[in-house]
Structure 1
């Protein structure tokens, strides 16, 4: 097996030492291949490739790892959000309060479930929905609030929960990025009616394609999601969720998890704690090397999330006013980056009809113009971190001629 965190070929096919891709899981898959292969053989021998025994086994393992009463596998994190909202009783036109700074699916899932996104500004210290702004944004149409846990930490679930109780809102969590994150010992996604996980390949626990899950402690929500993912069929025979009286009247969809993805996820779950610890070491090394560089406005910290919070460095996000120039400089050095997120949700063309405009949510807009994600994944090595940080320092200190990119 390859050692933990060894690096494979970059996206261009050259050796990783010539650059650092934004994401790779080549070494992880190689390291875990004997276990993945064993799980795959079980799938092939069983002959059921969707919604089968390997999915059921992964669901049990995931529930145990997160502490959830129920984990329901589906085919993507986006579908997980849609099905969770439906299972929680969303009605056409219901207002769902969501952060203005998040991945597109945070808001699009609301529309797909029949609701209406109501945007709320973020706390600039955590990138998550601001409880004070939430309280001011509640309207008579508001029925749900959906905080998103982003990058390396959770939203203020206590503050959001207090507002939700006062306003009579149901809390559902967009915890797609948040596997391993906990507050007061409770895993992300379990601080309200339920939450979701995405297993997109680059996530902390990533598949080899799309996959997702719903987490909940509520048996009725679990049974409804289980039915909705399988064309509305109740009384699931794999998971033995209790049949629900309305199951014959549900119009569901085909959102079952593939057993091949579950086979990969079960194998990767066995080293998830190790991978999370490795990410923490990488993040600490990044912060040590980047701290104090001119032009870097912010480095990630979990301190802003308060006591009792356990973060996970899914993404290492920095802020700089010369974000695009820095990204271009790093690209020339063979270092991959991603912009999270280049346009705040309320300014997306798809939501133009909701009536929001520039300046409505200044914290979200400021983050979308300054935030840049550097490489952060289980295959990354400390040597890779040093190459990334050296290239960032080169840009910030002007040690290399950059023409029009001068800071």
Structure 2
């Protein structure tokens, strides 16, 4: 663990050093539920997530335990498609019950009136970082868009350690890959151009695009799915990429010659939302309560290297896991959080400009 949150996550960073992170506990915690009685027809729930390694981790640590405990059959749809969600709600024909959305997107969906209110009598929010809680969404995970590299092209310690070095194609030659989305990509471009982390917002959009122009010819692939960067790096189609840390560490664990550089990593989050008109919205509330419990979130972070959003979950994780998910004191110090609220107000016009930039 999307993906700025400098203001939104100031509290998160401070708390991350003194307490522990991950989902909120409550009456649906994994240590309090018993298996559902047999013989009764299972309820159905459609959950939408991003697919790939994160979906597999959620299946083992959240979906399957919830199914067993509550006599539910979960159908997983991947990847998250915001356009489809909007079309469903606007047509009054909603097929999805729960959606894992980038937090900045969740805020935009909320603003457009496309979500159901969350029931905080069922969902226990007290231990979730307050900046990830609204009436209509609640944080699932914190992840990082960071510099990822091929370890055969760059021996450990010789890789770029900040975005300015990522942009330095003379000192660090080879093809790159960047996210085909302005969120995070513009922040990286400004950091590469020398903007101080605490001076990022409001983003100097003109300066960001000028910085992107400098590296555009070296960007071989503009990636759109989280699985792409580790694949591209593993085959040396590119030697450097912006990437989601969990996808890279999962590939590394499977023997791929890839690794993360956490310095100047860009902190983002995803959140659970319920589309307006969801067919099983009451069950969806119960599912979210379960998914953000400390036990479920700790299990999830043990399965994939994304940080929890519930303060009580980190204490359930080993020091090694905390290091891999970027939650040691030294790694927290160099992180920069995306400002979701700024993007809510500015995304549409900047995304239009970004798409034009891609076509030039």
TM-score by length of 1: 0.26
Q: Which structure ranks higher in relative contact order (CA pairs < 8 Å, sequence separation ≥ 6)?
A: 2
Structure number with bigger Rg? 1
TM-score by length of 2: 0.29
